[in-house]
Amino acid sequence: PVRPPPPPPRPPRRRSCARAPGTRPSLPSEGPRAPGSCHIMSRYDRAITVFSPDGNLFQVEYAMEAVRRGATTVGVRGADCVILGVERKAVANLQDPRTIRKICKVDDHLTLAFSGLTADARVLVNKTRLECQSYRLTCEDAPTVEYVARFMAKTQQRYTQRGGVRPFGVSSMLAGFSPDAEPQLWLVEPSGTFSAWRANAIGGRNEKAVKEFLVKNWAAGLDEAASVRLTGKALLEVV
Amino acid sequence: GTPDPPPAARARVRRDCRTSLGKALLSSMFAVGADVLDIGGSGGRRSRNDPLGAPPSALGGPTGFCLPPTADPAAFCRTNFTAEKGKDMNQEIKFAKGTTTLAFKYNGGIIISVDSRATQGPYIASQNVKKVIEINKFLVGTMAGGAADCQFWERNLGTQCRLYELRNKERISVAAASKLLANTLLQYRGYGLSMGTMITGWDKTGPQLYYVDDAGTRLHGDMFAVGSGSTWAYGVLDNYYRPDLTDEEAIELGKRAIYHATHRDAFSGGMNNVYIMKPDGWTQVYRGDVNDYHYALFPPPPPPPGGPPLPATAA
């Protein structure tokens, strides 16, 4: 029997936009796109476990972009207190606003406020609550804020180094007190880094403006009322 | 997080995973604390050793090591070594068990006093065993029961304590250290471990003393004596213990209690080692032969005048 001839080789597909191999498409937070640039994903951002030639993990950066799309969260450390403020976006008429919880109690002495994907935050907070209780069971003592922040960072980092999963699109601010009763504010990011801050803002449209406001107006030794006022004014910068 | 089950349990489960009941057992065994990253199937379970697999628990679990290739190590020990409490008088391979170790807390710190005899049935294997294991500068453990078990697991505890210090930039509390050891021993419960140990140290809450044994018991207390000679030691300790002892009195009490235990218990003897725990760590304050101590306390009567000399005292 005569076999049909093999089909002719298909011409190579030309991409409709030319870009250097290492670069990524511009993110919305970086401002309006230049005309002619497009939003087709480059070769290095599809898989989490692949570095780009210039050393970026694009999925992690996109996770931070997801955080920027969330509502703003502001944290301020006073002399003897830590204030966490969150922006409540306009709620639908029929929705009960009290069921939208963005400030979560992680342990008796620790509270967390997040920005980003709420569902991811729920999973992360659950893991963190479990770890706090596990620490209490093993060490018969309350975990330090730094330990909990380190655990959250370790968890988020693990999800940036494994195939088949994506990073958590959540940045969290952890507030608590050290064993010497010093107030502490820790920031944990989707890349898995954690650091202590005196005041910071995450998420939201106007993140830069809020951060600049805090840099200008934070002072050491603020009492509770002044810290609350500073947080409120910083949140007003969002709009 | 939940610690991993010991290797033999995992091996057993792996063998069973071919049956559907085994599959249910497999999934239920790993359900609690199972990393959500395990994307289904036995492929994920098989790669238990890959570096991207489920991480060890946050505070370090016991080191994994090969168990003997038997189906049930606990039953193997019970049948072949008769390694069971109360039934081990006619063992063919006798494990060293007799000992007296004690520790008590007083206002100035903690005294740890131990003997140094190891016996295998009626045979004295050694008069010079080190039954105080220095975990680190601020933590000390005692040994009673299986010497290898005590030494290995207390050294393992030292590893975990050091990792805790490096990660958290502060020394581990005695409560947490003893809890780590007790959790480890609880995982290996029924596998034939034999340990009765006291973990003592000085941390931010002051001097602390815990008794931990192979059943996973963990008790917080002010005074413990462990081993075959413990009853005699308790007799002396209970009579003369006061919280406001001075350092010298406390050391003397530790020496006396061990001496009386070694005098009457055949399985205790040799050298008495006494350690003291202070805020800046432990120090060994005394090491002496209990036999010499006996003659120091109760010197032989002088020979009667004019009578024959007494025979030289046996060593």
**Nearest C-alpha in B relative to A124:** B36
Decide if B99 is catalytic. yes
Distance separating alpha carbons of residues A129 and A135, to the nearest angstrom: 10
Q: Which DSSP letter does residue B10 get?
A: H
Compare all CA atoms of chain A with the CA of B32 and give the residue at the minimum distance.
Answer: A130
- Determine contact: B47 vs chain A, CB below 8 A: no
B56 touches chain A (CB under 8 A): no
Does the structure's ipTM exceed the value 0.90?
Answer: no
The per-residue pLDDT of chain B, averaged, comes to: 80
From A131, A180, A135, select the one nearest B204 (Cα to Cα).
A180
Query: For residue A156, what are the contacts with CB-CB under 8 A and spacing of at least 6?
Result: A124, A167, A168, A170, A188, A189, A190, A191, A192
Closest C-alpha to A86, from A105, A71, A100: A71
Rounded distance, CA B296 to CA B290, Å? 10
Q: Does B186 reach chain A within 8 Å, measured CB to CB?
A: no
Mean pLDDT of chain A: 87
Whether the predicted pLDDT of A199 surpasses 90? yes
Cβ pair A190, A167 in contact under 8 A: yes
Cβ distance of A135 and B58 shorter than 8 Å: yes
**Which of B174, B179, B181, B205 to mutate to test binding with chain A, by most A CBs within 10 Å of its CB?**
B179
More confident residue, A218 or B312: A218
**pLDDT surpassing 50 at residue B13:** no
Largest CA distance in chain B: 95
Which residues in chain A touch residue B168, judged by CB atoms under 8 angstroms apart? Answer: 144, 146-147
**CB of A168 within 8 Å of any CB in chain B?**
no
For residue A123, the chain B residues in CB contact (below 8 A) are 36
User: Which one-letter DSSP state was computed for residue B298?
Assistant: S
Substitution target from B37, B163, B220 for chain A, most A beta carbons within 10 A: B37
Stretch among A41-50, A194-203, B106-115 having the lowest mean pLDDT: A41-50
Please report the number of interchain residue pairs, chain A to chain B, with beta-carbon separation below 8 angstroms: 44
**Which of A131, A138, A147 minimises the CB distance to B168?**
A147
Phi/psi for A123 (5° steps) reads: -65, -45
Dump pLDDT digits (tens) for A138-189.
999 999 999 999 999 999 999 998 878 889 999 999 999 988 889 999 999 9
Task: Identify the band that residue B311 occupies on the pLDDT scale cut at 50, 70 and 90.
Answer: confident
Average pLDDT of the segment spanning B7-20 = 49
Nearest Cα of chain A lies from the Cα of B52 at a distance, in angstroms, of 7
What percent of chain B shows pLDDT beyond 90? 54
Candidates B212, B213, B91, B148; CA nearest to B83 is B91
Residues of chain B with Cβ-Cβ distance to A147 below 8 Å are: 168
Q: What is the pLDDT of residues A2-47, one digit of tens each?
A: 888 888 877 766 554 455 555 566 666 666 655 544 444 456 566 6
3-state secondary structure of B225: strand
Nearest Cα to Cα of residue B200 among B122, B274, B270, B149:
B274
